[in-house]
Amino acid sequence: MRLLRFGQLGSEKPGLLDADNTIRDLSGIIDDITPANLSDEVLQRLGQLDPASLPIVEGTQRLGPCVSGTGKYLCVGLNYSDHAEESGMTPPPEPILFMKATSAIVGPNDDVVLPRRSEKSDWEVELGIVIGSETKYVSEQDAIDHIAGYCVLNDLSERTFQLERSGQWVKGKSADTFGPVGPYLVTRDEVPEPNNLHLWLEVDGKRYQDGTTANMIFKVPYLVSYISQFMTLMPGDIIATGTPAGVGMGQSPQVYLREGNMMRLGIEGLGEQAQRIVTPR
C-alpha cells in the first residue's frame, strides 16, 4: 500500500495511490497519515479497503511529506563503505547517529532553499524507515515488526556548517527544506527486502549517485534494534539509513548545489522526488 498526503502546505489530506497511480482520498476514513494511524491495526484496515470505493483526487496535486507529526528524525552516518571512502573517513565499527531537525521536513517536490552563507550544500539520496509502534530495546529479529514502512529521503547537507565549523553534524543537516520526505509511505509488506533496493540521484540530468541498499554496512533490522537501545522510537519517527557514493563532496573537483539546479532522485519501488534549488529571498 502506498500512502501519501496531498494538498497545500499546512492543509494536506491523507491519500492512497491505487494500482493505476491514481490518488484516492482517504480523508473520509482517517484524519491524516499521523503517528496514531501507523499501527498494524490501522494499516491492516486501510489495506482491506477497495481503492475503487474511495473518491478520486482530480488534477495535479502538491504532495506533502508522506507522514505528519514526526517527533524524531534520526540519521545514520557513513553507512555505505563507498561513501565513507569518498569522504576520506574510516567505516565506523558501529552506527554513527545524529539528528536532523524536524523543521527541515518538506514535501518530496517542494523547492529546496539554500541557507544564507551556504557554500557547500550537498545531496544524499537515502532509504527512510518510518516507525509504526513504540520501540524500546527491541531485538534485531523482531525489529521489522516495528516498522510501518519505507520512503525516499534526500538528506541535504551544508558541508561547511557540518564539517568545518566544529561541533555536531546537526547544524549542517537542519536548514529549512533540507528534509524532503516521500512521495509515498510504502508499507513494509510491500518491501520484503529493504536491503536490496536500487537508489539513485541526478542533478541537472547528470547521474551522480547510482547504488544499492545491499551495500549498507549496517542493515535495516540492525539499525532499528541498535537505535532502540539508546532511546525509545515512537510512531512517526524517521530513520535515514545513509547514502551511497556520489555526493558532491566526493567529486573531483567537488560539486555543490547552486540556484537553479534541479535534483531528481528515487528508490526502486518507493517512487521519485524532484526539487528545484532556490536562494533565500
Walk along the chain (281 residues) in steps of 10 and give the mean pLDDT of each run.
Answer: 97 98 98 98 98 96 98 96 79 94 98 96 98 98 98 98 88 97 98 98 98 96 98 98 96 97 98 96 74
Same domain flag for 159 and 269: yes
For residue 73, the model assigns a pLDDT of 98
Is 62 contained in some domain?
A: no
Same domain flag for 256 and 133: yes
Q: Please give the Cα distance from 99 to 79 (Å, whole number).
A: 15
Same domain flag for 152 and 18: no
Query: SS3 of 104, please?
Result: helix
Same domain flag for 12 and 102: no
10 Å CB burial of residue 170 (0-12, 13-18, 19+) is middle
Is 64 contained in some domain?
A: no
Same domain flag for 7 and 97: no
For residue 87, the model assigns a pLDDT of 77
Is 65 contained in some domain?
A: no
The whole domain housing 38 covers 2-53
Is 66 contained in some domain?
A: no
Same domain flag for 120 and 48: no
Same domain flag for 147 and 180: yes
For residue 181, the model assigns a pLDDT of 99
Same domain flag for 150 and 115: yes
For residue 16, the model assigns a pLDDT of 98
Is 173 contained in some domain?
A: yes
For residue 168, the model assigns a pLDDT of 83
For residue 85, the model assigns a pLDDT of 78
Under 8 Å between Cβ of 132 and 146: yes
- Give the total number of structural domains in the chain: 2
Same domain flag for 194 and 229: yes
Same domain flag for 42 and 136: no
Q: CB within 8 A of 59, min separation 6: which ones?
A: none
Same domain flag for 43 and 153: no
Is 68 contained in some domain?
A: no
Under 8 Å between Cβ of 70 and 137: no
Same domain flag for 78 and 46: no
Q: CB within 8 A of 194, min separation 6: which ones?
A: 127, 129, 150, 213, 220
H-state helical runs in the chain: 40-47, 81-86, 159-163, 170-173, 220-228
Is 228 contained in some domain?
A: yes
Is 63 contained in some domain?
A: no
